[in-house]
Structure 1
Amino acid sequence: MDPVIVVGAGPVGLTLALALARYEVPVTVLDEASYRSAEQQEGRLARTVVLRPETAALLERLGCATTEGTRWTGWRTLHRRSVVAHVPFAAPGAGEAQRKPDETDDHEGDGDPGATPAEPSPLHLPQHALTRELCAALAGEADVRIVRDSRLTMLKQDPSGVTVHTGGDNGTQWRAGYLVGCDGARSVVRKLLGARFPGRTAVERHAVAALRAELPWPGEAVLHRSPPRGGEVTARPLPGGVWRLDWPLPPDGELVTPDALLARVNDALGVWCGEVPTYDLLDTGVHAVHHRLARRWRSGRAFLAGDAAHLLGALGTQGLDEGLKDAENLAWKLALAWHHGGSDALLDSYQAERRGAVAARLRAADRTLPAVRGQGGWRSVRRVVVPGAARGHDMVLTEGHLGRGLLGTPAVYARTPLVPAAPPASSVTVGTAIGEQVADVAVTAPDGSDTRLRDRLGGDLLVVLVAPGTGVWERRHWMGAGLMPRLAAAVSALPMAAELLVTEGYPGADAHTVLVVRPDGHLVAALAGVRPAELYACADAARGGAAGAGEAAGASEEEATAASEATANR
């Protein structure tokens, strides 16, 4: 079969190519930028990315080093006349959040980000560093080819694939089994597919400065509410004592002069440090945040991902993080379709899941924005509660930057088509909802090694048995005891490749619960005990049903049970 063509060699396109390569799918990456223009992006420290912990873990599983990034150790909300220090990432016993109010402080309705349970913080790194590390990881992939200076001029589909023409020095004709447009906000692929891209322009504007300085809170991210000049200021640490500072600008589109930007920098540093410290200004910029969502993310064998499919970024929401989640969601589905044929249900599920998740994020930001950025300044509106949530504005902004709450909680594919049409009879409720990302519990792998559940993602379907006490015994003792032989046989008879794991416990799950987990870590089902037919139905639903008539998607309970028992007796 022809390779998959990925259009665009930005972080989303490169991540998708790397994920497909891990599934042994050949990939051709076409990028309109020349090598020289790509190299010119080096050193733009005002252009950074913030990734949720689970997204950073995805990159690490793919072999992309993220050592040039920083996980901040805490989050501080600064007020003009007082300080509230929040440390939501401190390990238990490492210290409590501290509050240092003064006589004039008033915080009614602000919420308390310090009450958030300890958990890993987001990863902050320069975008050019991420791109470079992705290219380094792809350098070892023989079946991935990156072709620069290749701008699409034509796209045509037929039942067996996609044909494209490119201009530039490498202008020629290319053939693909599938094509994914990861070519940014001005996507040529989207235009050639005729997909509408409605939304709003310049929802927010921000001035950005990257500088090297010593601040009073090394390693902590900062939200400064009501600074002396303009709206709030955010500061996030980067390696080497570098900080990125952001200020929201007035919506009237006024120009930001170098003197005005320096005044904002000096104001912020002077308030934080008592006086303006010595600092090196490394990079500056102004960027506008747009909110747009493509109507169609799939057209036959062509797909959209990343900024080609959506634009967002107001109030701390992270567009690139969402783009990398697009790549993770689409990679295993395209790989399954490329190797074994994919049903329309499988391929359509990409748009249903990811477009729904991004649309929910955009709706939350659009609902919140008028209150947080309303007329009359921050103080006149900061006690207004976001509709449907008892959250003050400090909490809303903090959670957006931390990837939590209304603006940042990881997506739950509650309406995914990749689950059985009717819940299996043995379904049980656990601490993870169907369609939600699974908890990262300790598991035992087939070779007897101990690992983490999320470390096994990105490959086959996962079937996890909750079996308290197995950690006490060697694997050779419990693999042939109790439920294991029958469960192992049922797993081997599934209609898609699956890996059997065992865990001592899972949140909200009783002993002998069986979890079915997709390659991207979302829960398909939780079953009580070993039910081969129901397990088969869940795996079949996860692959979107059979790609063609005559496959085993409609296997009866007798057929599924017979297949597993026959395997067990071998």
Structure 2
Amino acid sequence: MSPNPTHVVVAGAGPTGLALACGLAAAGVRVRVVDRADGPARTSRANILHARGVQVLTRLDALGDLREQAVAPMGIRMHVRGRLLTTLTFAPDEREAVQALFVSQAAIEQRLRDRLAELGVEVEWGHGVGELAQDTDGVAVGLSGGDRVRAAWLVGCDGAHSRVRTLAGIAFPGVPVVERFLLADVHADGIADREHSAGWYHRDGILMAMPMRDPAGNLWRLMANVPDDGRHLDAPAVVRRFEELLPERAGITGARVRDAVWTSVFRIHRRLADDYRSGRVLLAGDAAHIHSPFGGQGLNTGIGDAENLAWKLALVVRGLAADGLLDTYAAERRPAAADVLRRTTTNTRALVAEGAVARWVRDHVLVRYLDLPAVQRQATRAASQLGLSYRRGPLGGRGAKPRPGDRVRDRPVVRPDGTRSTLTGELGPAWVLLSGGTAPEPLVAVLDRRLPGSTTPVTDPAWQHPHALLVRPDGHLLWRGTHAADLERGLDRVARAVADRPGRARLIQGLRNRIRMTNGTFVG
């Protein structure tokens, strides 16, 4: 056996897999990242990193120059029959220190690969998972090309058609939301001004056009739903269809599509894995959940999975927690994904509006509702995922706010040496002990013993509160209090979380009872 055996194999080098690998490697976990593709994607599937995603990349030290690459948030001008109905604006939450970035997914992946390389890990391209066998001690993974690797854990971040999920025998039930959707990034002239995105409602569907950053200044992302007539549409056919849709749905007759950078034809599904874990195999990102692309939630939900799983898997690998801690991953992240699926499905069906009644409600009621500033602020906040809480999960709790499981808002802090920083900047892979004054020595002693080398004590002089806060690497509160014995009990919740198999079975069944699908509709 190798003197440095692999702790974790991550299958898939998209944003989720890369973020997970960065979090693990930064925590000292030996990780390999494999991907069946020949190399990284050069086109941008997603083009927004919401505020929570910005915080995740900051904690991973992977944000790099993405702020400089980002474009300013744009409103969306919605039309019907050539008439402007409303302008939907992006309304950042001024209470927060971080806001969304409109930036290419390809650029995000590049920054994550750069960070991973700094941590000594390179992506192994052309190595997809072909087979796996697991036992009580680990997983044997067969890779394409005949290579085999033994690891303690395997995480499938390999997308909607996950091979890992299939081999692990995890069901992926769901329903279609839109039968056929077209997407194309094209260089084009004469579509609209580039100060805003634009959308056009039509009885046959919706057409949207979003300006994208490009040296030539004429790159657009076009999206539309069309009937599925069974015909295969290659890239030239997709471009021709958009050339037809621009006059049909938008009344634009002078547009000229020069060339296509990327096209895609797909069916929008809503699917949620029955479980996020099968023994020593786990799922994250699109391998665990898929939904409508409206709202740009997929990338952000995936890297949220990655960050949640990374710190828990690192503790298990280091022997600081039982593997039952990994059951809290599904307990916290699966409800979060279900909520995203519900919202994106509702929003997509409202926008597509199949049927005369639905179209009338959309054009005469919904657009007026969406024009309200309070509604736009609420929608932006929901999309940001900054309000996500795990307080109802197995590591959550009650009491004064923030409660265990709540996200702790970013704030300026002071390190023990007197230098200034921020809470987000000190997290990941480190935990943070936050207090209003000098960190209590008994609490620091407990953390040094229970989480050796993993905790940073910081202070916020402006925060006058008697309690100290122990903040998890993902920015959520684990414990608050003043006494070392109480802190020991709080850490015991992590070290022994859901460690028994009967307890895990009850937990998963409880989740399925809360989040299930009946006739294609989530109920709870």
Judge same fold: TM > 0.5, yes or no.
Answer: yes
Cα deviation, residue 4, structure 1: 0.9
Of 10, 24, 27, 1:23 maps to: 27
The 3 A distance-change label for structure 1 pair 406 and 130 is: closer
Cα deviation, residue 449, structure 1: 1.4
Of 37, 49, 52, 1:51 maps to: 49
Cα deviation, residue 267, structure 1: 7.6
The structure whose Rg is larger is 1
Of 172, 177, 197, 2:152 maps to: 177
Cα deviation, residue 61, structure 1: 3.8
Of 498, 521, 539, 2:491 maps to: 539
Q: Deviations over 1:300-330 (max 9, x none)?
A: 1110111111111253242122111111111
Cα deviation, residue 359, structure 1: 1.2
User: What does residue 167 of structure 1 align with?
Assistant: 144
User: What does residue 178 of structure 2 align with?
Assistant: 203
User: What does residue 314 of structure 2 align with?
Assistant: 335
Of 467, 486, 494, 1:513 maps to: 467
| Cα separation, 1, equivalents of 2:384 and 2:268 | 15
The secondary structure found in structure 2 opposite 1:29 is: strand
Of 239, 249, 261, 2:225 maps to: 249
| Cα separation, 2, equivalents of 1:242 and 1:13 | 32
Cα deviation, residue 498, structure 1: 2.5
| Cα separation, 2, equivalents of 1:353 and 1:514 | 24
Q: Deviations over 1:228-278 (max 9, x none)?
A: 98425252533543544343313545767433312445789986xx97589
The secondary structure found in structure 1 opposite 2:102 is: strand
The secondary structure found in structure 2 opposite 1:289 is: strand
The amino acid across from 2:475 in the alignment is: G
* C-alpha contact (below 8 Å) 1:412/1:436 kept by paired residues: yes
* C-alpha contact (below 8 Å) 1:442/1:452 kept by paired residues: yes
Q: Deviations over 1:502-535 (max 9, x none)?
A: 11345xxx522322211111122443xx222222
| TM-score with structure 1 setting the length | 0.73
The aligned runs of 1:402-421 (5 Å cut-off) are 404-405=381-382, 410-419=387-396
The amino acid across from 1:198 in the alignment is: P
| Cα separation, 1, equivalents of 2:51 and 2:403 | 20
The secondary structure found in structure 2 opposite 1:200 is: strand
| Cα separation, 1, equivalents of 2:54 and 2:403 | 23
Instruction: Confirm or deny that 1:349 pairs with 2:328.
Output: yes
Instruction: Confirm or deny that 1:192 pairs with 2:167.
Output: yes
Cα deviation, residue 458, structure 1: 0.8
* C-alpha contact (below 8 Å) 2:29/2:314 kept by paired residues: yes
The amino acid across from 1:455 in the alignment is: G
User: What does residue 82 of structure 1 align with?
Assistant: 84
The amino acid across from 1:188 in the alignment is: R
Q: Deviations over 1:275-303 (max 9, x none)?
A: 75897654443333221111121111110
| Cα separation, 1, equivalents of 2:379 and 2:180 | 20
| Cα separation, 2, equivalents of 1:250 and 1:401 | 30
The secondary structure found in structure 2 opposite 1:77 is: strand
| Cα separation, 1, equivalents of 2:173 and 2:19 | 26
Of 455, 462, 465, 1:498 maps to: 455
The secondary structure found in structure 1 opposite 2:465 is: coil
The 3 A distance-change label for structure 1 pair 236 and 378 is: farther
User: What does residue 433 of structure 2 align with?
Assistant: 463
* C-alpha contact (below 8 Å) 1:181/1:304 kept by paired residues: yes
The 3 A distance-change label for structure 1 pair 545 and 124 is: same
Of 101, 104, 110, 1:123 maps to: 101
Identity of aligned residues (%): 31
Cα deviation, residue 158, structure 1: 1.8
| Cα separation, 1, equivalents of 2:321 and 2:96 | 41
State how many pairs are aligned.
482
The aligned runs of 1:432-471 (5 Å cut-off) are 432-467=402-437
User: What does residue 104 of structure 1 align with?
Assistant: none
* C-alpha contact (below 8 Å) 1:491/1:500 kept by paired residues: no
Of 259, 269, 281, 2:240 maps to: 259
Q: Deviations over 1:84-116 (max 9, x none)?
A: 556555898xxxxxxxxxxxxxxxxxxxxxxxx
The amino acid across from 1:414 in the alignment is: R
The secondary structure found in structure 1 opposite 2:492 is: helix
| Cα separation, 1, equivalents of 2:104 and 2:291 | 19
Kindly report the root-mean-square deviation, in angstroms, between the aligned alpha carbons of the 2 structures.
3.8
Of 276, 289, 294, 1:310 maps to: 289
* C-alpha contact (below 8 Å) 2:46/2:299 kept by paired residues: no
| Cα separation, 1, equivalents of 2:395 and 2:109 | 32
Of 132, 150, 154, 1:155 maps to: 132
The secondary structure found in structure 2 opposite 1:208 is: strand
* C-alpha contact (below 8 Å) 1:419/1:542 kept by paired residues: no
* C-alpha contact (below 8 Å) 2:54/2:99 kept by paired residues: no
Gaps of 5+ in 2: 501-524
The amino acid across from 1:448 in the alignment is: G
The 3 A distance-change label for structure 1 pair 195 and 91 is: closer
The amino acid across from 1:129 in the alignment is: A
Q: Deviations over 1:69-97 (max 9, x none)?
A: 424334243444336556555898xxxxx
| Cα separation, 2, equivalents of 1:30 and 1:540 | 34
